[in-house]
Amino acid sequence: MDLENLCQALPKLELHAHLNGSLSMDTLKKLYKMQNPNSKSSEDTLMSIKNFSSLGECFKVFNIAHSLTTTPEAVFHSTYDTVKEFKEDNVIYLELRSTPRAIEGKMTKQEYVEAIIKAFEICKTDFPSILLKLLISINRKQGYKAAQDNIELAINFFKKYPQYIVGLDLSGDPMTGSTFLELLRKARLAGLKIAAHCAEIYQMLSHLSHVPNETETIDILKFKPDRLGHCTCIHPTLQGSSKLFNLLLDSKIPVELCLTSNIQCKTVSTYESHQFKYLFEAGHPICLGTDDKGVFHTSLSHEYKIASSTFGLKQEQLLKLCLSSVEYTFATLEEKQALLYEIEKFSKECNITY
Ligand code: IMP
Ligand code: ZN
């Protein structure tokens, strides 16, 4: 089997996907038509999604998706289509994450989350090969009150739907806002898992020096989230970052790596210099994710293919990457065993020994 087919056929686990960033052009067009039944110009309006050149610009792109997911019906269709596309890419476990939004007169945060769960329920019947979980996101930019509301919402939904709601995600524009660690502690006490975006950007100290956002990064590492996202600026070759790199290795916290996302947002300059290389070589727990497959025009298969061709990973190493991701999921023990079984079955069918 060639690399492309192997990466496509591998039973994969997606642990870092934001709902509104994952919407494909087909889904966006469908949502646009739902919102503007008489308009013929969806292409032009949506084309701007392709044109961005920095992390800041990428955040503007989310506004387009958000402008189309303003009703429970739109959130339902977004979720259903996204699950279907991941399933078609042979993803067997999807941990979707999303920031609940209230839209005056149209949708409450509660209804937003309910629409995702309703879609999950239907997907469970329509696509039984994919196991679904949801992390409720906290957008750092939206401030303390919104974070508090989302955590309360997550705790309540966790009590009602523990099979779907498994944790919290700390995300949003890293150039603004706080990390709300004391609020996350409360969520953890309630039994929720925590995935935190970490060290995505440099802090500008003066016009001469950029250093990793060290204090915040150390605070997050000390808090010990269950998983970390990106850790782009914790890089052994970057000025002022080797202390953080050692702290990260000592922490043994699994890191979700999204290669194309970091390249397209220009937070990493080349695939070859991506932190994947250093974490992989150090044997640190890592998994691959798409982040925003719609925004970055990628798929999980494609991310596996890039990792393999850039870092020379052999078939058995790709398989091991899938297998080890199982341990980092927020699934139950029984669910983890079922996922391991699927991957091992595939390895036997393809004669890949590891
Ligand atoms: P949503 O939470 O389903 O609305 O998905 C889009 C949101 O995910 C964005 O508005 C951001 O808050 C968050 N997001 C997506 N990609 C990134 C990233 O690379 N870093 C931080 N936050 C992100
Ligand atoms: Zn992300």
Question: pLDDT for 14-23, tens place per residue?
Answer: 999 999 999 9
Residue 176 is predicted with a pLDDT of 73
Q: Cβ(82) to ligand 1 under 6 A? A: no
Tell me what the mean pLDDT of segment 31-41 comes to.
85
Give the number of the ligand closest to the Cα of residue 68.
Answer: 1
- Return the structure tokens found at 271: 């695939």
* pLDDT, the chain, mean: 92
Residue 238 is predicted with a pLDDT of 76
The secondary structure element, H or E, covering residue 88 is helix 72-88
Q: Is the pLDDT at 85 greater than 90, yes or no?
A: yes
Q: Is the pLDDT at 201 greater than 70, yes or no?
A: yes
256 is catalytic: no
Question: Would you say residue 36 lies in a domain?
Answer: yes
Q: Is 71 left (phi over 0), alpha (psi -120 to 50) or beta?
A: beta
Tell me what the mean pLDDT of segment 77-105 comes to.
98
Q: CA–CA separation, 317 vs 327, rounded Å? A: 16
Sign of torsion over alpha carbons 14, 18, 19, 21: negative
Question: Would you say residue 354 lies in a domain?
Answer: no
Contact status, residue 179 vs residue 216, Cβ threshold 8 Å: yes
Q: CA–CA separation, 94 vs 134, rounded Å? A: 8
Q: Cβ(264) to ligand 1 under 6 A? A: no
Q: How far is the CA of 42 from the centre of ligand 1 (A)?
A: 23
Crossing angle (nearest 10°) for helices 181-189 and 214-223: 10
- Whole domain around residue 61: which residue ranges? 3-349
Query: How far is residue 277 from each of residues 8, 91, 305, 310, 348, measured CA to CA in Å?
Result: 22, 24, 15, 9, 28
Tell me what the mean pLDDT of segment 118-122 comes to.
98
Contact status, residue 180 vs residue 138, Cβ threshold 8 Å: yes
Give the number of the ligand closest to the Cα of residue 227.
Answer: 2
Residue 48 is predicted with a pLDDT of 59
Residue 18 is predicted with a pLDDT of 98
**What residues contact residue 212 under an 8 Å CB cut-off, 6+ apart?**
199, 202, 203, 233, 234, 238, 240, 241, 244
* Residue whose entry in the numeric block shows the structure tokens 């979707």: 96
Atom of ligand 1 nearest to the CA of 62: 10
pTM, to two decimals: 0.95
Question: Would you say residue 66 lies in a domain?
Answer: yes
**What residues contact residue 176 under an 8 Å CB cut-off, 6+ apart?**
140, 141
Q: Is the pLDDT at 42 greater than 80, yes or no?
A: no
Beta bridge mates, 50: none
Q: Tell me which of 77, 171, 198, 303 to substitute to probe ligand 1's pocket, judged by most ligand atoms within 8 Å of the beta carbon.
A: 171
Q: What is the pLDDT of residues 222-271, one digit of tens each?
A: 999 999 999 998 988 877 778 899 999 999 999 999 999 999 988 899 99
Q: Select which of 200, 272, 334, 349 is catalytic.
A: 200
Question: Would you say residue 185 lies in a domain?
Answer: yes
N residues, the chain: 354
Counting the structural domains of the chain, the total is 1
CATH assignment at residue 299: 3.20.20.140
At 234, the amino acid letter reads I
Band of pLDDT at residue 52, cut at 50, 70 and 90: low
Contact status, residue 86 vs residue 14, Cβ threshold 8 Å: yes
Residue 211 is predicted with a pLDDT of 55
Map residue 174 onto helix, strand or coil.
Answer: coil
Question: Would you say residue 207 lies in a domain?
Answer: yes
Question: Would you say residue 151 lies in a domain?
Answer: yes
User: ∠254-255-259 over CA atoms, to 5°?
Assistant: 150
Tell me what the mean pLDDT of segment 141-151 comes to.
95
Atom of ligand 1 nearest to the CA of 230: 19
Give the number of the ligand closest to the Cα of residue 98.
Answer: 1
Atom of ligand 1 nearest to the CA of 99: 2
Residue 206 is predicted with a pLDDT of 43
Of 208 and 100, which is predicted with more confidence? 100
Q: Is the pLDDT at 138 greater than 50, yes or no?
A: yes
- Return the structure tokens found at 270: 């080349």
Proportion of the chain above pLDDT 70, given as a percent = 93
Beta bridge mates, 194: 168
Q: How far is the CA of 173 from the centre of ligand 2 (A)?
A: 10
Tell me what the mean pLDDT of segment 330-349 comes to.
98
Question: Would you say residue 297 lies in a domain?
Answer: yes
Q: Is the pLDDT at 154 greater than 60, yes or no?
A: yes
Contact status, residue 6 vs residue 42, Cβ threshold 8 Å: no
Q: Is the pLDDT at 50 greater than 70, yes or no?
A: no
Q: Is the pLDDT at 284 greater than 70, yes or no?
A: yes
Q: Is the pLDDT at 41 greater than 80, yes or no?
A: no
Q: Is the pLDDT at 51 greater than 70, yes or no?
A: no
Q: Cβ(292) to ligand 1 under 6 A? A: yes
Atom of ligand 1 nearest to the CA of 19: 3
Band of pLDDT at residue 205, cut at 50, 70 and 90: very low
Question: Would you say residue 284 lies in a domain?
Answer: yes
Residue 203 is predicted with a pLDDT of 57
Q: Is the pLDDT at 311 greater than 80, yes or no?
A: yes
Band of pLDDT at residue 210, cut at 50, 70 and 90: low
Residue 53 is predicted with a pLDDT of 66
